[in-house]
Amino acid sequence: MYVCNCFGVTEDQVKRHAEGGACTPRQIASACKAGTDCGSCVRRIQALLGRGGYPRPALVAVERDVEQGADPEEQGLDQDEAAAA
């Protein structure tokens, strides 16, 4: 199914870019141009990304390190960020 008709970008393509690290509509646009012409697909892209659906790679790495016993302060996190991780 097409998400962006202007550039022929499919839902699967958006999901692949998200899995590759693009976690915002702007990053998706940089990866495949979706959302950069008429803009009608931006809301659909936001819905596909979802809140927490594709977490930022840096946060995933921090979460993994914290789970393995690393000190959050050594990771450069404050208490709120550490609690979220």
Which residue segments constitute the domains of the chain, with CATH numbers given?
A: 1-51 (1.10.10.1100), 55-85 (no CATH)
Q: Rounded CA gap, 57 and 55, in Å?
A: 6
Among candidate residues 58, 8, 49, 53, the one with its CA nearest the CA of residue 26? 49
Give pLDDT tens digits for 13-54.
Answer: 999 999 999 989 999 999 999 999 999 999 999 999 986 555
Q: Rounded CA gap, 37 and 8, in Å?
A: 12
Partners of 10 in beta bridges: 2
pTM above 0.75, yes or no: no
